[in-house]
Amino acid sequence: MIKIIKSNEMGTGGVVRRSGTPTSIITEVAAIIDNVIKRGDEALREYTREYDECSLDNFELPKSMMDKALNSVEPEFITIMESAAKNIEHFHRNQIQNGFDLPPKNGVLLGERVTPIQRVGLYIPGGSASYPSSVLMNCIPAKLAGVSEIIVATPPLAMGKKHGVDGINMQTLAAAKIAGVDRIFTIGGAQAIAALAYGTETVPRVDKITGPGNAYVTEAKRQVYGVVGIDMIAGPSDILIIADKTANPEHVAADMLSQCEHGIDSPAILITDSATLAKKVGKEIERQLLTLPRKSIARAAVNAKSMIVVAESINEAFDISNEIAPEHLEILLEEPFNHLDKVHNAGAIFLGKYTPEVLGDYYAGPNHTLPTSGTAKFSSPLSVDDFVKKTSYTYYSEEALQAVGKDVIKFAEEEGLAAHALSISKRLK
């Protein structure tokens, strides 16, 4: 049963912090990356046979397969994905920046250019699961940013598994068509990250890699960072709920379990000033757990780091939440907007009793790729900004340089950099 504690009995350290990657995974991933660098497609074929139980001659799917998927997936779900895509586009379109040009002043021109990344690789988990929402959430901001080419890498389905179109999930393919993906490769795991980062005979090298994945994918992204950009080093998903006595315990329990079923390391935390609500939610979690298909996973997550905290006040609840910096924060209070300014650290905020976090996973519009493991203290959700570069430009006329040259020389000399000073003095009259 989930533990119920008082606020003075808890410590925030380790509540949603990501544990270190095991040395065995670090070593194995490094070997995979090195093998792909040296042997390219040949290494990819070997890993595909070993890990995905597939023998593939060609990794790239023809674009016509995306059209085929649109006709294979249930029409109702296609309509739902199209509606979700519109919501995601509507939200992210407001993030587009165009740079700026400052007014000329005394012969000086300054400004900033915003240019899209040329080619982006999106990793979409696959195998027995389907994540069309991740396709939409990663691809649509990239398209809005103006990325020239968007490439998806996703694990192939083992031969003979149902729901697949030529070795890939139909829903993933349909989402790719809706979102505007350019190319799709049936490659999974750390080897897919290596192929995207370094390129092979058939897989083009990208400039940035985004998208979720397991511990091997995450570690591979960490190891290739610097060769390419990445979105973030993601940990297990988590949720924190702040609720008072007016909250419905059935809703609170359901929202907590929606995160726990992600995996055994996904904590769910309720902070409330009502001991009565705490007890009711604890009992409701036990009742709902018995009905879940993934109850063994959810049970492990409930027993591990999940908890219900009884705080002295709602203000204290927000103090604790800001220290934890949750990925998802639900505010189930009578007047949630009155408390919005109290939130300093959270990946995404869900306000009110009829705004469960699951809306954000699929449909509402804001991105569901969020900072985890407490990193919301210093990082942000995936956005259009992740797919552009900002570059400043500077112009000084001869007269402008003459006016400030001696000051710049002095600065360089104070730092002991004579060649810096010489670069200016050679230009002064």
Active-site residue, 60 included: no
From the list 328, 330, 357, 368, the catalytic residue is 328
Active-site residue, 89 included: no
Minimal CA–CA distance to 167: which of 54, 14, 68, 11? 54
From the list 219, 261, 284, 327, the catalytic residue is 327
Q: What is the dihedral of CA 207, 152, 56, 171, to 10 degrees?
A: 170
Minimal CA–CA distance to 367: which of 128, 58, 139? 139
Q: 10 near 171, Cβ under 8 Å?
A: no
Query: How many Å apart are CA 233 and CA 219, to the nearest integer?
Result: 8
Going by their DSSP bridges, the two strands 268-272 and 307-310 should be labelled as parallel
Ramachandran sector of residue 193 (left: φ over 0; alpha: ψ -120 to 50; beta: rest): alpha
**β-bridge mates for residue 150, sequence order:** 120
- For the chain, the residue count is 429
The alpha-carbon radius of gyration of the chain (Å, integer) is 25
DSSP letter for each residue of 156-192: PPPTT-TTBSSSSBHHHHHHHHHHT--EEE---HHHH
Minimal CA–CA distance to 172: which of 222, 138, 196? 138
Query: How many Å apart are CA 156 and CA 59, to the nearest integer?
Result: 9
Task: Give strand ranges (E) for 3-77.
Answer: 3-6, 60-61
Query: How many Å apart are CA 34 and CA 48, to the nearest integer?
Result: 16
**β-bridge mates for residue 114, sequence order:** 390
Query: How many Å apart are CA 317 and CA 243, to the nearest integer?
Result: 9
Q: 247 near 276, Cβ under 8 Å?
A: no
Q: 116 near 144, Cβ under 8 Å?
A: no
Query: How many Å apart are CA 42 and CA 209, to the nearest integer?
Result: 22
Per-residue tokens: 248: 């419905």
Give the list of residues 6+ apart from residue 390 with CB closer than 8 angstroms, or none.
Answer: 97, 99, 112, 113, 114
Classify residue 209 as exposed, middle or buried by CB count within 10 Å of its CB (0-12, 13-18, 19+).
Answer: buried
Which residues are known catalytic residues?
Answer: 327-328
